[in-house]
Amino acid sequence: MVEDLGPKKFARVGREYFERIERSAGTRKAIVAALRAVGYSVSEQAVGAWVRGESEPDLAVTAWLGERFGVSFDEVVLGRRFQDAISDQLQDQAKRIQDLETTQDHLLAWAMSDSKFVEAIRRRDERRREEAAG
């Protein structure tokens, strides 16, 4: 579950997001240059206000900057806990699959050690072949 983003939390998330973009870009000038290259008129002061959390650009610019500089807004909002939870779930599922495969192997080994079972399977397979042929 995602925690509630009140005004203070949202401002902190926005600052962190734009700080990460700034670190990825290297400088605010690089951010301005990237935006101007795609026709968005922006000043270095405006970018500074975004980084300080004093204002924010429209959503399309926010998304474009994240994609351009490799910063995930979800990762900033949800944090490492979300990624760790997904990783833990995947590890749990892998363990369950491994346990099921081990159980299946044990059941098969047990069944194959029972000569009556093996004979019944042989007869069933023979009957199926005859039905398919005839």
Cβ atoms of 23 and 8 closer than 8 Å: no
Give the model confidence (pLDDT) of 8-56 as tens digits: 655 667 788 888 889 999 999 999 999 999 998 899 999 999 888 888 8
What average pLDDT does range 98-127 have in this prediction? 83
- Whether the Cβ atoms of residue 21 and residue 71 lie closer than 8 Å to each other: yes
Q: Is 6 a residue whose pLDDT tops 80?
A: no
Confidence band of 2 (pLDDT split at 50, 70, 90): very low
End-to-end CA distance of the chain: 59
Q: For residue range 54-104, list pLDDT tens digits in order.
A: 888 888 888 888 889 888 877 776 665 666 767 778 888 989 998 888 888
Where are the domains positioned within the chain?
7-71, 79-133
* Among 8, 16, 4, residue whose Cα is nearest residue 75: 16
